[in-house]
Chains A and B, each alone.
Chain A
């Protein structure tokens, strides 16, 4: 490929040594190769530099007690995110049974989907509209399930993101991140003792 055309000259005449004339053509192919390689590199790094985000909407802090709409206990699933990538969960409040699982597809996702099925059987489905990626409104149906995510002090940030991911995967419409109450910490230490949970206290804590 790379060649430098060379004049053979006019042969040797009269012993005069003529300097060989070199053509000034330079093969640009390797330079173009290099150029495009660098372009590819810069193109890829600039587009990949944009990070991904997970939008999060928290409830208002100074919400009034009257504005709180009670939900049915049987629709509620509470996930307590604990240490060492463990999830403790219980349904409802009265006679709550504590169980634990992990963040794998067979773990917490299964728990959520099973709860969704249960709620679906009891209450049917809710119709709602949601804008898809193209901005067109779609008619969707979802479960009435309410998930409460409570990361404990020992949890790490990844656990929260994982839990929020599961909400997106299972298409849970109503979920909220709350603080763990001391009663729940006690419940985890002593599951047999049952959950002595007062809703009023929780409301009090949320509206302080």
Chain B
């Protein structure tokens, strides 16, 4: 009997379904990935053995640059809106509703209060060139310290939003400083925080490259 060879064809699999799934997942991850807001200051955090991750709650970040300049960033546009309303009427910054909205969606900022309007009015593309001098800190007189004022009022604003049910949690205070920041700059931030009774806060660190051996 002659061997009957069955006709062989290359096995083709219908990839359409797999392709669908792949792109569905891709879309999901792309949409959930947060766009990194424009950094006003580059901060290279020191490494640490700590493995605790930043909690999901809203954060109020105090950035300290390499040169010791202080910047602020807070999550939640509702809170920011409420905060700028408060600050605007208290210090007569003269911001209109449109400018307040800009502030609500602004990333980190590091300008004294009296120049905030000018900073907001700058075109977003030009903001990087805006001379940032950092948020003024006065450790001798806490009532004059703008940083203390911002942090205190931001926490109050977040608290108001929590009562209104717009946010779930109070702010987690986070200090993000560069590894080469001179200590006095960090010290003034820590002192400011303890002055306004924020005794618990978090330092942002990056993963230790080579894990230190534990003894």
Question: Measured between alpha carbons, how far is A105 from B54 in the docked complex, in Å?
Answer: 27
Any B CB within 8 A of the CB of A174: no
Most B Cβ at <10 Å: residue of A153, A161, A177: A161
Any A CB within 8 A of the CB of B92: no
**Residue-wise interface mask of A (48-76) relative to B, using a CB-CB cutoff of 8 A (1 in contact, 0 not):** 01111111111111000000000000000
Contact of B45 among A3, A49, A51 (CB under 8 A): A51
Most B Cβ at <10 Å: residue of A45, A56, A109: A56
User: What count of chain B residues pass the 8 Å CB interface test?
Assistant: 58
Any A CB within 8 A of the CB of B58: no
Asked if A42 contacts B200 (CB within 8 A), the reply is no
Asked if B12 contacts A25 (CB within 8 A), the reply is yes
Nearest Cβ on chain A to B188's Cβ, whole angstroms: 11
Contact of B26 among A42, A54, A153, A154 (CB under 8 A): A42
Asked if B29 contacts A109 (CB within 8 A), the reply is no
Contacting residues, chain B, for A158 (C-beta < 8 A):
46, 179-180
Any A CB within 8 A of the CB of B84: no
A53-B205, A58-B199, A156-B181 are contacts. A35–B23 as well, Cβ < 8 Å? Answer: yes
Nearest Cβ on chain B to A120's Cβ, whole angstroms: 14
Contact of A53 among B16, B25, B54 (CB under 8 A): B54
Interface of A is mostly: mixed
Q: What's the count of A-B pairs with C-beta under 8 Å? A: 162
A25-B12, A45-B33, A105-B213 are contacts. A53–B180 as well, Cβ < 8 Å? Answer: no
Tell me the chain B residues, 1-43 only, with Cβ under 8 Å from chain A: 10, 12, 14-16, 18-19, 22-23, 25-26, 29-30, 32-34
Contact of B29 among A42, A51, A169 (CB under 8 A): A42
Contacting residues, chain A, for B64 (C-beta < 8 A):
157
Nearest Cβ on chain A to B61's Cβ, whole angstroms: 10
Asked if A39 contacts B183 (CB within 8 A), the reply is no
Asked if A161 contacts B22 (CB within 8 A), the reply is no
Question: Measured between alpha carbons, how far is A170 from B207 in the docked complex, in Å?
Answer: 19
Contacting residues, chain A, for B201 (C-beta < 8 A):
55-56, 58
Residue of B nearest to A151 (CB): B183
Question: Measured between alpha carbons, how far is A28 from B214 in the docked complex, in Å?
Answer: 50
Chain A interface size, under 10 / 10 to 19 / 20 to 34 / 35 or more: 35 or more
Residue of A nearest to B202 (CB): A53
Any A CB within 8 A of the CB of B75: no
Tell me the chain B residues, 45-71 only, with Cβ under 8 Å from chain A: 45-54, 64
Contact of B10 among A3, A170, A179 (CB under 8 A): A3
A28-B16, A35-B19, A156-B179 are contacts. A51–B54 as well, Cβ < 8 Å? Answer: yes
Any A CB within 8 A of the CB of B174: yes
Most B Cβ at <10 Å: residue of A43, A55, A156, A170: A156
Nearest Cβ on chain A to B140's Cβ, whole angstroms: 12
Asked if A42 contacts B48 (CB within 8 A), the reply is no
Asked if A165 contacts B190 (CB within 8 A), the reply is no
Any A CB within 8 A of the CB of B77: no
Contacting residues, chain A, for B184 (C-beta < 8 A):
153
Asked if A39 contacts B179 (CB within 8 A), the reply is no
Any B CB within 8 A of the CB of A81: yes
Question: Measured between alpha carbons, how far is A155 from B200 in the docked complex, in Å?
Answer: 23
Question: Measured between alpha carbons, how far is A159 from B34 in the docked complex, in Å?
Answer: 32
Asked if B203 contacts A31 (CB within 8 A), the reply is no
Tell me the chain B residues, 145-195 only, with Cβ under 8 Å from chain A: 174, 176-187, 190, 193-195
Contacting residues, chain B, for A176 (C-beta < 8 A):
none
- Which 3 pairs of residues, A with B, have the shortest CB-CB distance? A28-B15, A35-B22, A42-B29
